[in-house]
Amino acid sequence: MRVALFTDTYFEINGAARTLRQVASRAHQFGVQLDVYTYGQEAKTTSEGEATVFQFNNRLAVRYYEGLRFEVIPDFRIRRTFTEQMRRAPYQLVHLATPGSIGLVGRAFAKQFRLPQIGTYHTHLADYSAMRSIPGSRRLMHRFFWWYMRWFYRDCHAVQCPTQGVVDDLKAHGFLNRLGIFTRGIDTERFRPSRRTRTSAETVVSYIGRIAREKNVGWLPTVLRDQAAEVQIVGDGPDRGWLEGQLPEAQFAGYLHGDELAAAYANSDLLVFPSQTDTFGNVVLEAMASGAVPLVATGPGPSEFVTAGVNAEVCASAEEMHAKLAALITDEPRRAEMSRVARQFAESRSWDSAIGELMEAYREAAH
């Protein structure tokens, strides 16, 4: 089966992009020839495993947030490439991964060539837009983006979501599609406790991710101040300067990649994850695989797959997260047991199993 995947984020540093790269690299194992249509810094064609990645450079784009841009000028280069591929060997399915400009192009092609569509839901754009809107317009923007998302995915045979909580949220906001689960996996060879490089005995608490308001980083000063631990912040974003001022004793590493990122996880004893807008939270699963015990916020996302008090802590407020973090810092035996169980849980979450769920949804949509 040939599938065309349209996504506005692929090479960026975010959970959706990492997930889609895993899909591209493994689809051939399930008998799927996948072509990815995306934007990047330059126009070129590359490979991801057996998948082909058609990358188009942005010409005049408005950035909505990291990894999602709306191209102002209609892009006929994508049409030409898609049409050539349809002539060579027709697609059987269009996968719409993001509702940005390239997602709209894919939606239009699916309708023009009468191809079935399947969607994956990665990001709560309505929540993000409300946070970034000027005071007084937030409710309007929130309603508009939910309307837009319903319209964008309307013709999809199914929309696959990371967790049941996201499924419930989409139903509550009027989605009438068939809604299924496409969970996430973890590479437990890359992320593992043996990647640890530090030798100091001091407890290390980390925040790893984008430093931006949609990640609820406003909690971090309350959570991390006056803790008997070393604080490590890995990542970057528009609120980094503010956070550096709030936490002058913390170590800010910026974005890390590859082995350096894996070592940063393994060097952590505890991970704080305050986001209440993430649809899954790949960072949490990566931390668990590395032996770091996560403390997460309530709400859809990681609080659905961790087990509170067993392999993680779930917190309803910054003050509660501060208190639970302080308790774990001083209780090394309990922390060690939670770390062991967290790693054990991560070992049960393979990418092949997760992507197998999506491939089955592909086949149902195409027939």
pLDDT of residue 131: 72
Mean pLDDT of 195-211: 95
C-alpha span between 187 and 254 (Å, rounded): 22
- 10 Å CB burial of residue 178 (0-12, 13-18, 19+) is middle
pLDDT of 248 over the 70 cut: yes
**Range from 53-62, 270-279, 292-301, 337-346 carrying the lowest mean pLDDT:** 53-62
What is the residue-wise DSSP string for 171-216?
HHTT--SEEEE------TTTS-GGG------S-EEEEES--SGGGT
pLDDT of residue 184: 96
CA angle in degrees (0–180, nearest 5) for 84-86-87: 65
Domains and CATH numbers, the chain: 2-185+350-366 (3.40.50.2000), 193-347 (3.40.50.2000)
Q: What's the start-to-end Cα distance of the chain, in Å?
A: 11
pLDDT of 233 over the 60 cut: yes
CB 55, CB 25: distance < 8 Å: no
pLDDT of 208 over the 80 cut: yes
pTM of model > 0.85:
yes
pLDDT of 68 over the 60 cut: no
Q: Which of the four pLDDT bands, split at 50, 70 and 90, describes residue 58?
A: confident
Mean pLDDT of 193-200: 94
pLDDT of 343 over the 80 cut: yes
Q: Spell out the alpha helix ranges (H) of the chain.
A: 15-26, 76-88, 101-112, 125-132, 138-152, 164-172, 220-224, 240-246, 258-266, 282-289, 318-330, 332-347, 351-366
C-alpha span between 120 and 94 (Å, rounded): 11
Mean pLDDT of 278-297: 97
C-alpha span between 93 and 240 (Å, rounded): 41
pLDDT of residue 63: 64
Average pLDDT, the chain: 93
Percentage with pLDDT > 90 across the chain: 80
pLDDT of 73 over the 70 cut: no
pLDDT of 298 over the 60 cut: yes
- The pLDDT tens digits for 141-186 are 889 989 999 999 999 999 999 999 999 999 999 999 999 999 999 9
What is the residue-wise DSSP string for 72-116?
SS--HHHHHHHHHHHHHS--SEEEE---SHHHHHHHHHHHHTT--
C-alpha span between 136 and 147 (Å, rounded): 19
pLDDT of 65 over the 70 cut: no
pLDDT of 137 over the 90 cut: no
pLDDT of 280 over the 60 cut: yes
Mean pLDDT of 260-286: 97
pLDDT of 69 over the 80 cut: no
Mean pLDDT of 205-223: 96
Mean pLDDT of 177-200: 95
